[in-house]
Structure 1
């Protein structure tokens, strides 16, 4: 199973728009937490984890659908992760 990290920036958005984005991303199996060294952490705002046997472009397409559901435009970046090192994140 491959892990992806996705970051989205909505253009001209407010906090309610981001709450809607979080809901839409969750519907598509994106999560706002990450486990590192056995501890579950909250990812930075509008950063998501996706685990699956898919290609990065498929993850991007799912994220783009979520952005479209907010009726706003936004920037999206998807990266395939080989592992993570974290610091300063809040425990989930």
Structure 2
């Protein structure tokens, strides 16, 4: 069984408004990025900060592959953007994230 590969993605749109961010959210969701994260060794799920997404896959993929997927989604906003993708091997630590109810 292949291990789950996990990534944290940060997206920032330039000169964007709430409508642009809704387009971004919908496009990222369609590309299977999520705005929540599960706490290690727990069933608790938390909301990620604005502009942050989580992506996981059982396929053998790397950060560049996830970046390519994100670029296609973010391009739907027709805004200039910045994207950062970090591969998350192992546990992800965080504090003060809002529980997802």
1:85 corresponding residue in structure 2: 93
**Equivalent residue in structure 1 for 2:64, among 57, 65, 80:** 57
**Which of these two proteins has the greater Rg computed from alpha carbons?**
2
1:27 corresponding residue in structure 2: 30
Distance 1:46 1:69 in 2: 16
- Larger strand fraction of residues: 1
TM-score normalised by L of structure 1: 0.95
1:40 corresponding residue in structure 2: 45
1:6 corresponding residue in structure 2: 9
Distance 1:90 1:15 in 2: 21
1:69 corresponding residue in structure 2: 76
What is the CA RMSD across the aligned residues, in angstroms?
Answer: 0.9
TM-score normalised by L of structure 2: 0.87
Distance 2:12 2:37 in 1: 19
Runs (4+) of structure 1 moved beyond 3 Å? none
Q: How many residues align?
A: 92
- Cα deviations by residue, 1:31-58 (Å, 9 ceiling, x for unpaired): 0000014210000011100001211111
